[in-house]
């Protein structure tokens, strides 16, 4: 079994098409088929079910795929460690964050990081499935909502933040010091769609209480959401981080209670992954940035212990 065969095998698993995989690999389709057949002969079981022009991974193929990804991940880790022994501070650091405020949080630190590690190539991804991408080793680390229920992931809590009901000074709730959660459902609401993590927190709270949120308007962009709320179309529910980022003076932020809406944000990465100097440097930079925001009272305090 050769590393080259495993590389061909991984690409075929990801494309599920011999011709497409061969193009990506820069070899002919017959050469790829021959290498996969040789791999299957050596292992003694089929790795793919061939159904006409389509293929599907067998159970044995899935086992080999997962282990092969680990093999290449370990080789990349070894290479990075050796480079650091040679004091080579270069390479690529891939960071993921949920779209919106968490992605903005990462972006705010890029210039400082570049000054410290000018030879490191940075890749920032604003995507919803950050944990899955960490697990597949596509990302070195990610900023996401905790907890993450997977033993393969190590998490470092950064901060907790509350959510607020947001509306104009003309809203019926404008004079309130706090709003009970169920009262939000009695007025027009503008929200992100159900796929957005902010919306999911509100929906989950509704489900626990046996309630249902029916937004008057749903929008995918924060700019349009703020625009609609500022025009008086309705209120909304947003995180403190997002409110601090945009900081519209004409909007009121009213605490939500019974229950309080809050979430915990943290850094996640593969437990067994070697974290190079650049990755550790970014984690230190981000944790120091959060610490300063807390000291300046610009962020809620998180009392949780580090996940292990």
More confident residue, 89 or 77: 77
Q: What is the pLDDT of residues 125-178, one digit of tens each?
A: 988 889 999 999 899 999 998 989 899 999 999 988 889 999 999 999 999 999
Q: What is the mean pLDDT of residues 170-191?
A: 94
Report if pTM > 0.75.
no
Q: What is the pLDDT of residues 190-221, one digit of tens each?
A: 999 998 888 888 999 999 989 999 999 999 88
Q: Band of the pLDDT at 88, cuts 50, 70, 90?
A: low
Residue 10 has which token pair?
């991984």
Task: Tell me whether residue 3 is exposed, middle or buried, using C-beta atoms within 10 angstroms of its C-beta: 0 to 12, 13 to 18, 19 or more.
Answer: exposed
Q: What is the pLDDT of residues 256-281, one digit of tens each?
A: 999 988 889 999 999 988 888 889 99
End-to-end Cα distance, the chain:
36
DSSP letters of 161-203? EEEEEEEETTSTTTT-S-EEGGGGGGS-BEE--TTSHHHHHHH
Q: Does the pLDDT of residue 302 top 90, yes or no? A: no
pLDDT of residue 2: 87
Give the separation between CA 291 and CA 159, rounded to whole angstroms. Answer: 9
Half-sphere exposure of 52 (CA within 13 A, CB side): 1
Give the separation between CA 160 and CA 142, rounded to whole angstroms. Answer: 17
Give the separation between CA 247 and CA 208, rounded to whole angstroms. Answer: 31
pLDDT of residue 155: 96
Q: Does the pLDDT of residue 282 top 50, yes or no? A: yes
Q: Does the pLDDT of residue 84 top 70, yes or no? A: no
Walk me through the domains of the chain, giving residue ranges and CATH numbers. Answer: 3-82 (1.10.10.10), 89-158+264-295 (3.40.190.10), 160-262 (3.40.190.290)
Percent of the chain with pLDDT strictly greater than 90? 53
């Amino acid at each position: 079994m050769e590393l080259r065969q495993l590389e061909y095998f991984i690409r075929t698993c990801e494309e599920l098409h011999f011709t497409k995989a061969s193009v990506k690999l820069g070899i002919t389709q017959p050469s790829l088929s021959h290498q996969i057949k040789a791999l299957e002969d050596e292992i003694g079981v089929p790795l793919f079910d061939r159904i006409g022009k389509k293929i599907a991974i067998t159970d044995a193929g899935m086992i080999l795929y997962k282990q092969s990804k680990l093999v290449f991940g370990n080789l990349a880790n070894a290479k990075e460690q050796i480079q650091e022994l040679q004091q080579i501070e270069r390479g690529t650091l891939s960071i993921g964050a949920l779209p919106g405020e968490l992605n903005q949080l990462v972006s705010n630190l890029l210039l400082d990081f570049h000054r410290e590690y000018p030879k490191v190539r940075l890749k920032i991804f604003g995507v919803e499935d950050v944990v899955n991408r960490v697990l597949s080793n596509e990302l070195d680390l990610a900023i996401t909502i905790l907890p993450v229920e997977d033993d393969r992931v190590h998490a470092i809590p950064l901060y907790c933040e509350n959510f607020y009901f947001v509306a104009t000074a003309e809203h019926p709730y404008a004079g309130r010091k706090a709003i009970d959660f169920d009262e939000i459902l009695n007025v027009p609401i503008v929200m992100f769609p159900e796929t957005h993590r902010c919306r999911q927190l509100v929906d989950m709270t509704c489900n626990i209480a046996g309630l249902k949120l029916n937004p008057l308007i749903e929008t995918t962009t924060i700019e349009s959401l703020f625009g609609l709320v500022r025009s008086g179309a309705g209120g909304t529910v947003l995180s403190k981080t997002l409110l601090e980022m945009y900081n519209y003076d004409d909007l009121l932020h009213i605490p939500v209670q019974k229950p309080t809406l809050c979430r915990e944000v943290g850094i996640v990465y593969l437990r067994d992954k070697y974290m190079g100097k650049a990755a550790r440097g970014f984690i230190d930079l981000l944790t120091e940035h959060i610490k300063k925001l807390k000291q300046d009272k610009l962020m809620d305090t998180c009392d949780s212990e580090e996940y292990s």
